[in-house]
Structures are given as C-alpha cells and as structure tokens.
Amino acid sequence: MSAGKAGQPSLLFTPGESLLHRANPITSLALMLWMISAAAVLPTIGTTILTAAAILVSLVTGVGKRAVKRLLLTMTPIGVALVVVHGLLIERPDFYDHGLVSISPSGLDYALRVFMRVAAMLMATLLFVTTTHPADMLKALDQRGVPPGVGYLVASPLLLIEPFSDRAKAIRDAQRVRGLDMTGSWKARIKALPVLLMPLITLALSDLDQRASVLSGRAFRALPRRTVINAPHDSTFQLWLRRLLFTLAVLQLGIPLLWR
Amino acid sequence: MLTVDDVTFAYAPGAPVLSDVTFHVPPGQVVAIVGRNGAGKSTLLRLLNGLYQPATGAIVVNGNATSDTPVHLLARSIGTVFQAPEQQIFNAKVVDEIAFGPKQLGLTGKALDERVGAVLERIGLAGEAETHPLDIDASARRMVAIGSVLAMQPPVLLLDEAQRGLDKAAIDRLAKIIADEKARGTTVLLVCHDMDFVARNADRVLGLARGRLAADLSTEGFFTDAALTAAIGVEVPDMVSLSAALGLAPALSPERFAAAWMARNEA
Amino acid sequence: MALIDVADLAFRFPRAKELVLDGITLSIEAGERVAILAPNAAGKTTLARWLSGLLPEGVLTAERGHVAMAGKPFAEWSVAERATAIQFVGQVPSQQLTGCAFTVYEEIAFGPCNLALPEAEVRARVDEALTICNLRHLAERDPFTLSGGETQRLSIAAALAMKPRVLVLDEPTSNLDPESRDDLLAQLDLLPGGLTIIVLEVALRPSLALAKRFLLLDQGRIVADGTASEVLNDPRCIETLGMTAVTEAAFRLREAGRWPDATLLPLTLNEALDSFGAPRAHG
C-alpha cells in the first residue's frame, strides 16, 4: 500500500515501514498529544530530552530528513526572535553590560525554555504528520464512528489543494496566451489580479454546487456510519497504550494545575 | 506562418513526450492535429503558444521564436482557444470579454467598437452583448472564448476541441469562421477528435503517435491510408469509407460524395 | 406503470424570464436504452438532473408537474434510496469527483461505503467497475491527476458501483478518443439487460450504437419520440442537429432526384453500404 501512495496528495507524509508507520493513526495521534502535553509542563531539561528523543525516533523511522528540515526552518527565526526580545530588549534586573549590548541571563534562560517547549511540540506534530498518511487518518476516524461529515471536513482541504492550484495555473496560462503581462511591474501584476481571481472564484463556487450534488448522488451522509475498507491495523495492546497515553496527557496537565 | 523544427520535449528526463517533430504551415492553411488521448497533442499546443519551451529544436511563429518572446507578446501572433472557456472568461459582460484582447493591443474608440461589433456578429452573439458570460449556454460561452481570440486578429489561430458539444447551427458557424480566417490568410490549427469535422474543414492532417509525427499529409491522402489512420488511432470518416467501398474517388464531405456518385452514374 | 414517469414538468430557474422545461411528459420503461438528443440551450442538462432526481432541490422546484420513479415522486425518496436507484454522470469530468478519495479505487468505493455495505461486497463492486471501465491499471492513482478521458471513465465506474437501476449520462463520450469510446460503449452494452440507460447528446452518431429509442428535446419540449430512423429523419431534428454525413449524402441525391423514393435515408455507414449495394466493411 505505502509504495503506491507516493504519488498521492499527502503534504509531509513520507512512506515507510517503521513501527510508527504501521501503528494505528489514532495511536500515533495519542502519542502526539501526550508529547505535546508533556512539553507544556516539563522544565527545559525535560523538553530538551523530549525533542532529542523525537529527533532520534524520526531518524530511525526514516522521516528524519524531512522532519528535521521543517523543524530547523520553523525554529531558527523563532529562536532568533526569542533571544533578541527576551535576552536584549526586555529590561530585567540582571541586565549585564557587555559594552555594545546589555544581556540578561534570566531573559536568555526564559527564551531557551520557551524555545525548547515549542520545539518539542513542533517535533511531536512533525513526527505524527510525516508517518501518518491523511487517508489512513480519515479511515481511522470513519472506523471509530466519527460522523462522515467531520472526516470530510478534515480531508477535503488536503485533497482539493492540488486541483485548486492546477486550476489556478490553468487560468494563469489561459490569460497569458490572451496577452496578459505577468512578468512586468508590480503595478501591472496587481492590475492582472482580478483577471486571474474572477474565473477562480466563479469556478470554485460552481464546483461547490456540483460537488454537493455529486456527494448526495453517492449517498454521502445518507447513513450514520460508513464501511471502512483497508482499515488501518489495530490491536488490544494499542488500545491500552492509547488509553494510557491519553490519561497521562490529561494528568500531566491537570496535576500541576491542582497543586498550585 | 508557423515553423516547427526538430522539436523535442519531456516533462521528466528520459521520458520524451514529443520527439523530433518538424513541420511548416504557410499562411491560409487549415491543419488538423490528430491522435489518441495522450499522444502529445496538448503538449504540442502548449509549445506552439509558448507556455512550454522545447528541450531541443525551435519554434517560430510569424517571425517570433517562442524561445525569446514572452508568452503575452507571442499572444499577438498566435491566439489560443482552450477547451474550457470558463477558465479564461472573467468579465461581467460578453462585450467586455471580446474587447479585452483588442484593448491590450491598444485599440480604442471607434476602431475598438467596430472590431468588437464585427466579432459579436461572427460568433452569433450580437444580441447577447450585455449578458453575463456565465448566464448563457455552455456552447455560446465557447463562442465567447473564440470571439475573444478572433478580436485580436492573430495571424495564427489554435482551436483545441472547439467543435465539442456544439449543435448544427454552432458547428456551421464555427466552420464559417474557420473558412473566413483561411481566406484572410490566417494559419489555423485544429486539435480535434471529430474526424468528420476534420475531413470537412482541414486542408492537411498532422498525425501524432507516441510523441512522434507519424503523418503529415493532405486530408484526402491521410484518410485514404488505412494503415496510417489505424496506427494513429483515428476513425476514417464515413464518407471516405463509403466512396472507397463504391470505387469512387475519396470524398471528404457528403456534397463531394453526392457529386462524384452522380458524375459516375451519369456516364 | 413505467419505471420513470415525467408528468407535465415545467421548470424555470429563479428570476429567469423563460421556462427551461416547458411541459415535458414522457415515460421510460425498465431496461430501455434511450437517447435524448438536444440542440444547445434546449434544456438538456436540466432535464437530465430532473430525470436523475437531483432536482427538485432547495429553491429549485417545479412550476408544475413532477418526476416519479417506480410510481413514487423523487421528492419522497431518501438520499440512500435514490442513490441506489438512479445515477447521474455529468458532462464535465473533473466535476464528477467527490473530492473525498485519495485513490481511484477509493473514489469508486466511496458510494458503496456510504451505503454501509459489507467490505467484501464493496470490493466486489469496485472490482467489477474497474474492469468495465478499464481502470485497473490506474487503481492506485490520485483521481485528480487523471486525464479528461480517464476521469470520465472513473465517474461512470463510480456510478456503476452503486448498482443503480437507471444510469443517466450527459454526453458520456465527448472526452474520449474513438478507441476508448468504442471500448466503453461495448462494455455498457455487456451490462445486464435490466439496467436502464438514458444518454443525452448533442451529436447524432455516438448514441446510434447504444440507444434503441430516441427523443428530441427542443426549447424545453419533447418534439419527437421514436426509433432512430423516425427521429433523425424528423425535419425538426434535421434543422437543429443536422444529419449524419451518410444521411446528408443520400439526402443530396434525393434532392437531385437520384434516390429511390421507397428507400429510407441511411443513418449509419452499414445502412448506407446496404442501400448503395456495396459489401459491408465489417460484418
């Protein structure tokens, strides 16, 4: 199955055969939620270990390249911003003059804490989306009796991104061969915008209408449940693991709140 | 005037969609490009109007090489009517849609009005000038798309399946437009599945098979070569089959068939 | 009682001046193969949607009359009942996709899954539809990456997987090259005789191979109803849709007084070969 999915819309999904790839998507989801909840409460050392562990897992499962690249792309600007704001800009009692700039160690400490927390949460999410194909997630939701309308709401944006951008490209081409200049000045390009957007919007509206009628023709939401084919594998072990992870996720968040 | 010289094109390395395609089309000739789904017709069309660039070889349209003319300037030399008119229509009135192209060319005032009026007449929508293009029937919308290109008076005209879904009146109108353009010296290229339409309207047929130019013949010569039409995967028009079965010279239209039949049975 | 009954149906779009359908009355029996021919702007697609039960819908209601299947007006059918009784395939291939499936296989399975059929039944139906529409080699592809002709075959496959009693096809072969078209028509011909097929066409030739009964729709009215020869030779059909090339050739001979009065004008090549006394090309 996985090999055939290479050509399908999947955003960050990277095919593979690892434990995480084979796990039921709901189990992967539970793992992600537990990690996010842990990242929310752990001290900096904990979130650092968590992030490192997640990166290690991503490397082992073969999604490392994609996940780490995305992590660096997102975290680098956040890191710079945090250091500048909390280390240099916000005035704190422990400002320490280095000649050119004043640095606050407690500010840096705070910046690091936030940075690692966000990194751990992001890495948890990346681990999930790189190892779980949206189609399998949709099936897992269907299988658990989630109303078909909800599953569709999740899946259709993913599915329709590609035809929508193809359509946009086709319209752009059609207008270029009619003499519309899209290489010129910014003014020319802004003037060209309505010419491109009008057909895109009218066609999207007419598509919505059509799609509603196609869906009703195929009995979508006619019954409360639908059959799931190629249902993702599940097991009693995974069921208990999920219960444990969900419980931990809630307790981790709840206990510190009660303590205070 | 159109020159295609030894053109090769591939979307991915090692998998050419078109290979070694060479042909020249003089002004005032109507040429049909035929072949199976996936034979490379659409790709060729997009090379001709500059949306794609050939990997090797050269395409010259009315003296402009597609490789060094921006698409929007090449549009003055080659007009394209795509299959889906909805993708190019954006004005709220039919008349504005037709006027868009000539305005880009700098036409204003009386010259603009005259040109737009003449085009509306030719596409049979003079009475719908103020209507929203999406409020008219799909076939009329295709006519709007054709009109918007005719209004730019390009020396080369590309029609992609323009006859599809048209009724008799609209087909006759399209045939008249093609004949008029031919008489004006326009080079007309038809990408077309309907071989009866090809037989009646084209002077010459280019047959594509697996990305290669497998046929470049007069329409008559093409349809009378049974092995060739089979290899390219197109139907022989009924008139050609019927005249062959009766031992008559190949007829491309019912008119010519009837004339040939009467001429022989007179003698 | 006929399978589909249209009783004096009149319909206009909101705020439109003129009626799109102006008093349509017709009956279609189970198992019939019907072609509804119509010039542009005659109301073809609108009639197709009424015949398929997709109308009435919301504010789009009949001015008078109704469409009933098996004696029950469509307005009284549940979505699931209707979806298993009748399937409509529209003319723009990409607009027939659900947008809910990541593969061709899942697109075909989508409808049967919505009916909550057992998994084995779903698979059997998808398998059959893949074969009929020659899509097996594309089963794992993303539906939105297919060509126009492939998408058209996919939308017909998805309709067949619902095992409807009636299939309504709006210009089903317009995006296909001759080989794919002939394959599809041959496969449709092989379908169990119980399936009622209604095609709507602007062109004359495609339905000659498939339909036994022809109707002519013009300006929102049914103006002719009969065999291919009756309808295609009807002056109103000739005026709006023209003639096939062979008919036109014979017609020109008749105009010149060179066609025997007793002989009907041929519609297809084989009929023409017969009337001209030439050997048939293929059987």
Cα B232 from Cα C177, distance rounded (Å): 11
Burial B114-133 (b: 16+ CB within 10 A, else e): ebbeebbebbbbeebeebeb
Contact B84, B164 (CB under 8 A): no
- CA contacts within 13 A on the Cβ side of C64: 6
- As a whole number of angstroms, the distance between CA A209 and CA A230 comes to 30
pLDDT higher at B187 or A105: B187
Count Cβ atoms within 10 A of the Cβ of residue B60 and give its class: 0-12 exposed, 13-18 middle, 19 or more buried.
middle
| Ordered DSSP codes for A167-233 | HHHHHHHHHHTTT---SS-HHHHHHHHHHHHHHHHHHHHHHHHHHHHHHHHTTTTSSS----SSPPP
Q: How far is B186 from chain A (nearest CA, A)?
A: 17
In this structure, what DSSP letter does residue A83 have?
A: I
SS3 B253: coil
Four-residue CA torsion sign, B215, B218, B219, B224 = negative
* For A208, nearest residue in chain C (alpha carbons): C95
Q: Which residues of C touch A227 (CB under 8 A)?
A: 112-113, 115-119, 122
Binding-face residues of A in 161-190 toward B, CB within 8 A: 167, 170-171, 173-183
Candidate from B193, B241, B265 with C-beta closest to C281: B241
Q: Beta-strand (E) ranges in chain A?
A: 96-97, 102-103
Which chains, if any, share at least 3 CB pairs under 8 A with chain B? Answer: A, C
C28 strand-pairing partners:
C4
Q: Which of residues 124-183 of B touch C (CB under 8 A)?
A: 136-140, 164-171
Over residues A13-58, the pLDDT tens digits come to 888 888 889 999 999 999 999 999 999 999 999 999 999 999 999 9
Per-domain boundaries in chain B:
1-77+154-236, 93-146, 237-267
| Distance of alpha carbon C232 from alpha carbon C251, whole angstroms | 12
Is the minimum CB–CB distance between B222 and chain C shorter than 8 Å? no
DSSP one-letter code for C191: S
**Residues sharing a CB contact under 8 Å with residue C190, sequence separation 6 or more, in sequence order:** C132
| Beta-strand relationship, C196-201 and C166-170 | parallel
* Helix (H/G/I), strand (E/B), else coil: A69: helix
pLDDT for residue A38 = 93
Pairing verdict, β A96-97 and A102-103? antiparallel
Most confident option among A150-159, B188-197, C143-152: B188-197
Evaluate the omega torsion of the peptide bond into residue C14 and state whether it is cis, within 30 degrees of 0. Answer: no
Q: Write the CB contacts of C245 (distance below 8 Å, at least 6 apart in sequence).
A: B196, B237, B238, B239, B253, B254
Confidence check: pLDDT of B162 > 90: yes
**Between β-strands A102-103 and C72-73, what pairing exists: parallel, antiparallel or unpaired?**
unpaired
Q: Is A235 on the interface with B (CB under 8 A)?
A: no
> In this complex, which of B165, B168, B255 lies closest to C171 when CB atoms are compared?
B165
List residues in chain C touching B: CB distance below 8 A: 39-41, 91, 147-150, 171, 174, 176-180, 202, 239-242, 244-246, 248-249, 251-253, 256, 258, 268-269, 272-273, 276, 278-279, 281
* Model confidence band, residue B63 (pLDDT cutoffs 50, 70, 90): very high
The SS3 call for residue A243 is: helix
pLDDT of residue A6: 40
Reading across the β-sheet that carries C86-89, which strands appear in turn?
C86-89, C166-170, C196-201, C33-37, C213-218, C221-226
| Residues in contact with C46: Cβ distance below 8 Å, sequence separation at least 6, in sequence order | C11, C20, C21, C55
- The one-letter amino acid code at A44 reads T
Q: Which structure tokens are listed for A148? A: 């078909």
> Which segment of A81-95, B22-36, B47-61 scores lowest on mean pLDDT?
A81-95
Q: Does the structure show a pLDDT above 50 at A9? A: no
Contact C54, C232 (CB under 8 A): no
Sheet holding B15-25, edge to edge: B15-25, B2-12, B56-61, B64-65
* Cβ atoms < 10 Å from Cβ of B202: 25
- For the stretch C244-248, contacts whose Cβ atoms lie closer than 8 Å and that sit 24 or more positions apart, written own/partner, are C244/B238, C244/C204, C244/C205, C244/C208, C244/C268, C245/B196, C245/B237, C245/B238, C245/B239, C245/B253, C245/B254, C246/B238, C246/B239, C246/B242, C246/B254, C246/C271, C246/C272, C248/B254
Which contiguous run of DSSP H or E holds residue A120? helix A105-131
Nearest to B191 by CA among C256, C148, A6: C148
β-sheet bridge partners, residue A27:
none
A171 touches chain C (CB under 8 A): no
Question: Which residues, listed in sequence order, are joined to residue C166 by a DSSP beta bridge?
Answer: C86, C196
> What dihedral angle (degrees, nearest 10) is formed by the CA atoms of C164, C166, C171, C172?
40
- How is residue A109 written in tokens? 């400490």
Mean pLDDT of B14-25: 93
Rounded Cα distance between B119 and B151, Å, is: 6
List the domain boundaries for chain C: 32-64+75-228, 243-283
The Cα B89–Cα B142 span in angstroms is 10
Q: Which amino acid is at C75?
A: A
**Structure confidence at residue C280 (pLDDT):** 58
Q: Which of A10, A152, A225 sits opposite C100 (nearest CB)?
A: A152
**Cβ-nearest to B88 among A167, A181, A199:** A199
Using the structure block, give the residue that is written with the tokens 């798309």: B145
Residue C123 main-chain phi, psi, to 5 deg: -65, -40
- Residues near C121 by beta carbon (within 8 Å), at least 6 away in sequence: C112
Tokens 């899954």 correspond to what residue? C113
Rounded Cα–Cα distance for residues A149 and A208 (Å): 15
- CA nearest to B96, candidates B115, B116, B110: B116
End-to-end CA distance of chain A: 50
Query: How does pLDDT run across C25-44, given as a tens digit for each residue?
Result: 999 999 999 999 999 999 99
Residues of chain B contacting C256 with CB distance shorter than 8 Å: 258, 262
By DSSP bridging, strand B187-191 and strand B156-160 are parallel
Rounded Cα distance between B239 and B248, Å, is 10
Whether A85 contacts chain B with CB within 8 A: no
Written as one letter, the residue type at A167 is: R
Would you give the distance in Å from CA A258 to the centre of its chain?
31
Banded pLDDT at A10 (limits 50, 70, 90): low
- Rounded to a whole number of angstroms, the distance from the CA of A171 to the nearest CA of chain B is 5
Structure-block tokens of residue A34: 């537990």
The string of DSSP codes covering B24-74 is EE-TT-EEEEE--TTSSHHHHHHHHTTSS--SEEEEEETTEEGGGS-HHHH
Q: Which CATH superfamily is domain B1-77+154-236 in?
A: P-loop containing nucleotide triphosphate hydrolases (3.40.50.300)
Distance from CA of A150 to the nearest CA of C (A): 12
ipTM: 0.87
Report the CATH fold assignment for C32-64+75-228: Rossmann fold (3.40.50)
Residue matched to tokens 């490397």: A59
Q: Is the pLDDT of residue A85 over 90?
A: no
B101 contacts A179? CB cut-off 8 A: yes
Whether residue C54 and residue A216 make contact (CB cut-off 8 A), yes or no, is: yes
Q: Which of C35, C25, C24 minimizes the C-alpha distance to C168?
A: C35
Return the residue in A1, A202, A229, A230 with the most chain C beta carbons within 10 A, the one to mutate for interface testing.
Answer: A229
Q: How far apart are CA C213 and CA B154, in angstroms?
A: 45
The whole-angstrom separation of Cα B252 and Cα A123 is 68
Per-residue pLDDT of chain C (283 residues; tens, 9 = 90+): 799 999 999 999 988 889 999 999 999 999 999 999 999 999 999 999 999 999 898 889 999 999 999 999 998 999 999 999 999 999 888 889 988 888 999 999 999 999 999 999 999 999 999 998 889 999 999 888 888 888 989 999 999 999 999 999 999 887 777 777 888 888 777 777 789 999 999 989 888 888 999 999 999 999 999 999 999 999 999 999 999 999 999 999 999 999 888 888 999 999 999 988 866 554 3
Q: Do A176 and B72 touch (CB under 8 A)?
A: yes
Strand partners, C66: C7
Burial A131-165 (b: 16+ CB within 10 A, else e): bbbbbbbbbbbbbeeeebeebbeebeebbbeebbe
pTM, two decimal places:
0.84
